[in-house]
Chain A
Amino acid sequence: MVPALRIAGVTKRFGTTRALAGIDLEVAQGEFFGLLGPNGAGKTTLISALAGLVRPDSGRLEVMGHDVQADYRQARLKLGVVPQELVFDPFFSVRQTLRIQSGYYGIRRNDDWIDEILANLDLAGKAEANMRSLSGGMKRRVLVAQALVHKPPVIVLDEPTAGVDVELRQGLWRFIRRLNGEGHSIVLTTHYLEEAETQCGRIAMMKAGRIVALDSTGNLLRRFGDGTTNLEDAFMRVMKEAA
């Protein structure tokens, strides 16, 4: 089976900043994968490179076997990205936003799926509301919805729970877990490490543009702990050792 993501030898500089200093990573289909690291580690840059928003200086990236540059149409069809920045188009309602996004992916009548997404993200009551009128947490959930309109096999969420309250976070994870159960591969970044600990089967920890630890969540906890540690302690130790 072709991997959901294949990343090989990817580097990227912004001026003098080495945002990615040689990343090799494979994520298998069906995984629930966590990408952790302090601010500036390069997580967003790596996701942007997968999405074709950033052009790497060297290396290759594939989504479901499709090169993100040479075969960008197929690669983008297979990928759904929830951007870290809380962006929206103030001109449209939630439903219009999702219909337009569907159209970008070549899907014309998508209202059944759109309604299902909205219900699962607790946004059904806001379908006709203008994007401007939504709270930050609601806008974040619309971003999640936008990433899902084309039912992508690979879903990448860059800090999807930032600014979303606890109750809605639970709902979001339920929905994402369901999608994962239905075969979608999930990659997420988050600063809430207990979230990563409960959701992710495998985790990569990044620092300064490199992957400094990569293992199953269980192994990471065993390797860097004494049985009582949580992922937060393991993370701190990995970061210290990588210094």
Chain B
Amino acid sequence: MIGFLTLLQKEILRFWKVGFQTVAAPVVTALLYLLIFSHVLEDHVRIYDNVPYTAFLVPGLVMMSILQNAFANSSSSLIQSKVTGSVVFMLLAPISYRAFWAAYVGAAALRGLLVGLGVFLVTLGFTGARLEAPLWILVFAVLGGAVLGTLGVIAGIWSDKFDQLAAFQNFLIMPLTFLSGVFYSIHSLPPFWQQVSHWNPVFYMIDGFRYGFFALSDVSPWQSLAVVGVCFVLLAAVTLELLRRGYKLRM
């Protein structure tokens, strides 16, 4: 237990020490998206009748920030310790592979949640907050952070170099998060792209998360919870099996 807590604490310290880059900068990025999109689209796009576009956009941006930063945290931390070789200090220690996974995912989700909270607080100045079902907000925030944190562990273990990790980020994480209804409701898409979006798990994370704010969503939050929950269980199982075998960590 102390081993797990130490690793968790180390992973938190690692991003907190450079909090300007890892927490403040992503909040600013999200704010820029908000300024640009709301300025351009506020008077032209209305997705739900009594929800202004800017208000609609905020939960999407918050969730996108949570997801991208959770992924960035576990993946970059792991590849850094692999490239510098300092991963050996964790591998020499009597830390179980489950504790290893839990610590990386815990720290990743925490960074995601901190960035998400930052984005939410900053955007409060632009739109009032509506919090119709706060429990759903919390559930999807934590679960989304954990899913992407786990995916980050897989990416960090699998990548041998930083550019492989960048490819993972650019060709999987970015498209999944952008093509998920952050900026729009998928009902405004042509039928084909609507179908495609329904295969994107991130769509359910954002849709369920948004339900917590407005009690409005494209699909039922229970359905979203089921999809995201199954994703989490599957990815966690894959990651734990990779770690148990020592894939790319123990020769």
Residue numbers of A with Cβ under 8 A of B are 14, 48, 51-55, 72-74, 76-77, 79, 81, 83, 85, 87-92, 100-108, 146
Contact = CB atoms under 8 A, between A and B. Distances in A.
Contact of A55 (B3, B81, B246): B246
A65 B152 CA distance: 37
B251 A14 contact: yes
B2 to A, nearest CB: 5
Contact of B251 (A54, A85, A92, A100): A54
Contacts of B85: 83, 85, 87
5 contacts: A53-B91, A53-B92, A87-B84, A88-B84, A89-B86
Contact of A104 (B1, B81, B93): B93
A52 B2 contact: no
A81 B88 CA distance: 10
Contact of B3 (A74, A90, A105): A105
Nearest to A88: B86
Contacts of B94: 72-74, 76-77, 104-106
A72 B92 CA distance: 10
Nearest to B6: A103
A104 B251 contact: no
Top 10 A-B residue pairs of the complex, sorted by shortest distance between their CB atoms: A103-B6, A87-B85, A104-B93, A73-B94, A89-B86, A76-B94, A106-B2, A54-B251, A100-B10, A87-B86
Given A55-B250, A89-B89, A103-B9, 18 more contacts: A53-B88, A53-B91, A53-B251, A54-B251, A72-B94, A73-B96, A77-B94, A79-B92, A81-B92, A87-B85, A100-B10, A100-B89, A103-B2, A103-B7, A104-B90, A104-B93, A104-B94, A108-B2
B89 A146 contact: yes
Contacts, number: 78
A87 B93 contact: no
Interface string B52-86: 00000000000000000000000000000100111
Nearest to A72: B94
B5 interface: yes
Nearest to A80: B92
Question: Which one of A14, A76, A90, A103 has the highest number of Cβ atoms from chain B below 10 Å of its Cβ?
Answer: A103
B74 to A, nearest CB: 15
A101 B91 contact: no
A102 to B, nearest CB: 8
A179 to B, nearest CB: 18
A67 B89 CA distance: 20
A73 B17 CA distance: 31
B3 A104 contact: yes
Contact of B17 (A74, A83, A91, A107): A91
B3 A91 contact: no
Contacts of A72: 94
